[in-house]
Amino acid sequence: MFTGIIEEVGVVAAAGNRMRIQCRKVLEDAEEGSSIAVNGVCLTAVDIQPDGFWCDLSPETVVRTNLGALRQGSLVNLERPAAVGDRLSGHIVQGHVDGTAEFLALEPLPGGNWWLTVRIPRELDRYLIPKGSVTLDGVSLTIAGLEGASLEGDVAAVAIIPHTYENTVMREYRPGAAVNVEVDVIGKYVEKLLSLR
């Protein structure tokens, strides 16, 4: 389990189905087989070295996330799993990405803040609510606005504070880029329970 609070921005040193990530902080207590969230995707760290680790991408991960599109030099958000007794600063994040959203815009707001908009896939619309939680590329965010559904999906907006902008990969986004989305797991459980009644 993760919380969506990014600890470090890493760099892809080798891309492909076997990927190497250069980083340091998230390796402080890592062991062979440790989980590390890479752009919100729970991956198993192997061949851990002082300046990075290797991880394998399954075909499902390549199809469902943006990790297959990464290239050498790409930046990635990194987070270690939560430990029992830690504060839950973000929200419950599993590292199980539901799909990718289309990045639309990142517009400046007063005070160094930003307004980020993405088009969420139609099949995930039902899990989004105003002031609800959503994870974008591993970052725990609060939905600040939802614009009407279209055939392509809802446009979700989130407010980005200066700290998040400066300490995540969001500053690198370009229009049309794929952003990993994990919807709030509680909504999925509620839907399943109600469907069984």
| pLDDT given at position 81 | 95
- Please state, in angstroms and rounded to a whole number, the distance separating the CA atoms of residues 193 and 197: 7
Let me know whether 114 and 188 are in one domain.
yes
- 123 and 178 inside one domain: yes
Residues 75 and 135 in one domain: no
Examine the domain organization and report whether 49 and 103 are in the same domain.
no
Alpha helix locations (H) across 34-87?
Answer: 59-64
Neighbours of 165 (CB within 10 A): 16
Phi, psi values for residue 16, rounded to 5°: 120, -170
Core vs surface per residue 126-162: b (16+ CB within 10 A) or e = ebbeeebbbbbbbbbbebeebeeeeeebbbbbbebee
15 domain residue, yes or no: yes
131 contacts 142 by C-beta, under 8 angstroms: yes
Phi, psi of 189 (to 5 degrees): -65, -40
Asked if residue 86 is part of any domain, the answer here is no
Residues whose CB is less than 8 angstroms from the CB of residue 14 and which lie 6 or more positions away in sequence, other chains included: 20, 54, 72
For residues 63 and 115, state if they share a domain: no
Are residues 103 and 176 part of one domain? yes
In whole angstroms, give the CA distance from residue 52 to residue 10: 9
Ordered per-residue pLDDT tens for the chain, 197 residues: 999 999 999 999 999 999 999 999 999 999 999 999 999 999 999 999 999 999 999 999 999 999 999 999 999 999 999 988 888 888 888 899 999 999 999 999 999 999 999 999 999 999 999 999 999 999 999 999 998 765 566 899 999 999 999 999 999 999 999 999 999 988 888 888 888 77
Could you tell me the CATH number of the domain that includes residue 108? 2.40.30.20
47 lies in the same domain as 126: no
Instruction: Domain of residue 35: give its range.
Output: 8-79
Residue 22: inside a domain? yes
Q: Is residue 182 part of a domain?
A: yes
Residues 112 and 155 in one domain: yes
Please write the tens of the pLDDT for every residue from 94-136.
Answer: 899 999 999 999 999 999 999 999 999 999 999 999 999 999 9
Q: Are residues 42 and 103 in the same domain?
A: no
Instruction: Write down which residue in 79, 111, 128 finishes a domain.
Output: 79
Structural domain tally of the chain? 2
Q: Is residue 108 part of a domain?
A: yes
Contact 114, 25 (CB under 8 A): no
Same domain, 181 and 108: yes
